Amino acid sequence: MAIRIDRNPHPPAQPAPDSLIFGRHFTPHMFMMNHRDGAWQDPWIVPYGPLALDPAAKVLHYAQEIFEGMKAYRNPRDGSVHMFRPDQNIARFNRSAARVCMPAVDPGLFMEALDTLIALDADWVPEVPSSLYIRPTLFGDQPSLGVASSTSYLFYIIIGPVGSYFKNGIKPLRLKAETEFVRSAPGGTGYAKTGGNYAAALLPIKRAQDEGFDQIIWLDAIGRRTVEEMGAMNIAFVYDDYVLTAPLGDTILAGVTRDSIAHLCHDFSIPWVESPPIVATICDDAASGKLKECFACGTAAVVTPVGSITHLGREAVIGGGQEGPVTRRLREALWEIHTGTSGQHREWIHRVPAR
Ligand code: PLP
């Protein structure tokens, strides 16, 4: 299907590079495609702007919605623009779509939509350490209040510049292990990037932040005993001779960053162990010094150190509350790959063709 382009006759001014606020600035164009009568139709790039939705649209009532979060960077050496492992986000998008009963988007067309949109607004891709955030979204828009899957869908992609997560320096996080609320449960939607998972997380995160924590650690829904994720990131624990993280399953979002770090650990001959981390043991090991470091990882922050975990009112400081050498090494190695300046894992870089 050919992608039609309607250029924006009134593109907005670009924000100043030092004024970027996450998720607030968008480029002049967006990609849109409707699913009607059982098929995707009319892939289209249009000026960025509001959507017209019927108040009875399924998504507004039953949250039949999924999204992705990925990034493009400008290579500081040659100015070219590339995405980081977009094939992984596309695959996860379609896994999420299947979980909430929505049609898949053809991966080839998805990639072409990304390439075409980013190439059109390539001037908006900022210099590193800033980047271009990419938000593909899919939802059911049939105007009907029946509790059933929608018969029509809208898929769109919006993009916008974002600043570095570490603008104010690297500050290890102070986390609360959440023992009351859960993010996901076996058989639920935890492995899908569906908006409802994030809505359910808002209250516990707000409460923890009101108590002075930066974020929360999600524990398993059955026993509140093992560590699954941190906020909207995966989490890993660095021992002397291995890195420990939760195994993937239906309660955990399979992070692209997590997978990339598993590969880097392999490259660096650091054993990567996937076994449920027991929160009480993690806290004991932090207190005794056996646990050396902890970090969280995800597209927004890449790799961010964790300074302490509070479980049932007891705070366990990890590695003196400072970023440790393994976290730093992984963060720096991954950052060089993200920005296209590393010789490692060139296969993870998808160059956006210039228009
Ligand atoms: N876990 C959750 C719940 C997330 O929302 C995200 C972010 O997308 C991640 C983990 C990290 O995934 P990724 O590395 O693909 O950004």
- pLDDT per residue as tens, the chain (355 positions): 899 999 999 999 999 988 998 999 999 999 999 999 999 999 999 999 999 999 999 999 999 999 999 999 999 999 999 999 999 999 999 999 999 999 999 999 999 999 999 999 999 999 999 999 999 999 999 999 999 999 999 999 999 999 987 777 889 999 999 999 999 999 999 999 999 999 999 999 999 999 999 999 999 999 999 999 999 999 999 999 999 999 999 999 999 999 999 999 999 999 999 999 999 999 999 999 999 999 999 999 999 999 999 999 999 999 999 999 999 999 999 999 999 999 999 999 999 998 7
Q: Residue 331 Cα, ligand 1 centroid: separation in angstroms?
A: 16
Distance CA 278, CA 32 (A): 44
Are the C-beta atoms of residues 303 and 261 closer than 8 Å to each other? yes
Are the C-beta atoms of residues 192 and 100 closer than 8 Å to each other? yes
Please indicate whether residue 86, judged by its CB atom, sits closer than 6 Å to ligand 1.
Answer: no
- pLDDT in the model for residue 147: 97
Are the C-beta atoms of residues 355 and 122 closer than 8 Å to each other? yes
Residue given tokens 């960053």 in the structure block: 257
Please indicate whether residue 304, judged by its CB atom, sits closer than 6 Å to ligand 1.
Answer: no
Are the C-beta atoms of residues 233 and 201 closer than 8 Å to each other? no
Half-sphere exposure of 32 (CA within 13 A, CB side): 15
- Enumerate the β-bridge partners of residue 308: 174, 317
Distance CA 247, CA 275 (A): 6
Atom 4 of ligand 1: nearest residue by CA position: 232
- For residue 351, count other CB atoms closer than 10 A to its CB: 12
Q: What ranges in the chain are assigned the alpha helix state H?
A: 58-62, 86-99, 107-120, 195-210, 256-267, 279-288, 325-338
Residue given tokens 């207190």 in the structure block: 287
Are the C-beta atoms of residues 217 and 309 closer than 8 Å to each other? yes
Q: Residue 190 Cα, ligand 1 centroid: separation in angstroms?
A: 11
Please indicate whether residue 298, judged by its CB atom, sits closer than 6 Å to ligand 1.
Answer: yes
